[in-house]
């Protein structure tokens, strides 16, 4: 595949979200437990929330929206773990198409929809779609053409971005009163910076995981949900008769992805 690499935009968008998160107060370390959360400061809660997130071995990431500054509106629904396994989908937004993703070990399966082929692969996309039909495109995880997508599927990459940017904490961090989120008790932490407001809803019981991140202002309107902490990624992969090898696909079309 030459030209656009599958997964590059989702990986970049995920990285941008993480930078917003770390800029929202998930800063230096702390003990990962939520007891006495009523007496903790906003920064202490943020510290514990960051450690809880970095300690997770698997997580379900649900995100949608626009980060502003000309970034694309996108949506992700992925369950991913530290071993690089993942299962879910990426929607590029604005009619640009979506891709179902399954990654297990060294293999990756992709099922792009018709809009993806039409908009993301203008030269050869229709031929690829006709050959694939309703099957998955299968490739190796170390294929450089799929590198961006593989990074999106790796929780280690996500957590490293959080850790590497832990001190990006400009703006005042404020603690709000307890509220509920989908039936769970949470404490909202809010940081305002350069006309943008980031709210992190932290679990008030059990481990203080960040359960929702909301970014508003300066054209940004994005929500990220985090759930299913330490719940294993589904092990089911597409059957061989429902897949088509990426190299075989390229050999049957003069177009390129």
| CATH number of the domain encompassing residue 220 | 2.50.20.20
Domain presence at residue 29: yes
Cβ(229)–Cβ(79) under 8 Å?
no
Asked if pLDDT for residue 45 goes beyond 50, the answer is yes
Residue 202 confidence (pLDDT): 94
Q: How far, in whole angstroms, is CA 243 from its chain's centroid?
A: 25
Asked if pLDDT for residue 162 goes beyond 70, the answer is yes
Residue 1 confidence (pLDDT): 39
Please give the average per-residue pLDDT across 160-187, as a whole number: 82
Taking Cα atoms as reference points, which of 59, 149, 58 lies closest to residue 107?
149
- What is the SS3 string spanning the chain? CCCCCCCHHHHHHHHHHHHHHHCCCCCCCCCCCCCCHHHCCHHHHHHHHHHHHHHCCEEEEEEEEECCCCCCCEEEEEEEECCCCEEEEEECCCCCCEEEEEEECCEEEEEECHHHHHHHCCCCHHHHHHHHCCCEEEEECCCHHHHHHHHHCEHHHHHHHHHHCCCCCCCCEEECCCEEECCEEEEEEEEEECCEEEEEEEECCCCCCEEEEEEEECCEEEEEEEECCCCCCCCCCCCHHHEEEHHHHHHCCCCCC
Q: What's the pLDDT tens digit per position in 86-106? A: 999 988 887 888 889 999 999
More confident residue, 66 or 111: 111
Domain presence at residue 93: yes
The percent of residues above 90 in pLDDT, for the chain, comes to 35
Query: Total structural domains in the chain?
Result: 1
Q: How confident is the model at residue 136 (pLDDT cuts 50, 70, 90)?
A: very high
From residue 166, alpha-carbon distances to 21, 27, 46, 84, 176 in Å are 9, 4, 11, 22, 22
The percent of residues above 70 in pLDDT, for the chain, comes to 77
Residues 6+ apart with CB under 8 A from 14: 61, 63, 76, 152, 158
Cβ(158)–Cβ(80) under 8 Å?
yes
Asked if pLDDT for residue 31 goes beyond 60, the answer is no
Residue 19 confidence (pLDDT): 53
More confident residue, 32 or 183: 183
Domain presence at residue 2: no
Asked if pLDDT for residue 228 goes beyond 50, the answer is yes
Residue 227 confidence (pLDDT): 95
Domain presence at residue 213: yes
Domain presence at residue 177: yes
Residue 177 confidence (pLDDT): 95
Domain presence at residue 3: no
Residue 32 confidence (pLDDT): 41
Joined together, the tokens standing for residue 113 give 């929809």
Q: What's the pLDDT tens digit per position in 180-201? A: 999 999 999 998 877 888 899 9
Q: Which domain holds residue 157?
A: 8-251
Q: At what angle do helices 42-55 and 155-164 cross, to 10 degrees?
A: 150
Residue 14 confidence (pLDDT): 59
């Amino acid at each position: 595949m030459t030209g656009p690499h599958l997964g590059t935009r989702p990986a970049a968008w995920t990285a941008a979200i993480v930078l917003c998160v770390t800029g929202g107060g998930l800063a230096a370390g702390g003990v990962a437990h939520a007891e006495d959360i009523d007496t903790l400061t906003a920064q202490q809660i943020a510290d514990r929330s960051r450690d809880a997130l970095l300690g997770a071995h698997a997580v379900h990431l649900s995100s949608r929206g626009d980060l502003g500054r000309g970034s694309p509106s996108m949506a992700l629904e992925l369950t991913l773990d530290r071993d690089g396994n993942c299962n879910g989908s990426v929607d590029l937004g604005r009619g640009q198409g979506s891709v179902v993703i399954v990654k297990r070990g060294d293999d990756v399966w992709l099922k792009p929809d018709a809009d993806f082929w039409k908009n993301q692969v203008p030269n050869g996309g229709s031929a690829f779609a006709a050959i694939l039909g309703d099957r998955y495109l299968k490739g190796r995880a170390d294929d450089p053409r799929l590198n961006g997508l593989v990074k999106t599927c790796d929780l280690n990459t996500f957590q490293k971005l959080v850790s590497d940017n832990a001190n990006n904490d400009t703006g005042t961090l404020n603690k709000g009163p307890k509220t509920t989120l989908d039936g769970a008790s949470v404490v909202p932490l809010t940081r305002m910076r350069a006309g943008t407001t980031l709210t992190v809803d932290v679990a008030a019981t059990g481990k203080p995981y960040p359960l929702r991140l909301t970014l508003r202002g300066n054209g940004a309107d994005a929500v990220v949900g985090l759930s299913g902490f330490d719940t294993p990624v589904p092990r089911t992969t597409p059957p061989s008769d429902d897949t088509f090898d990426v190299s075989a696909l390229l050999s049957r079309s003069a177009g390129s992805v």
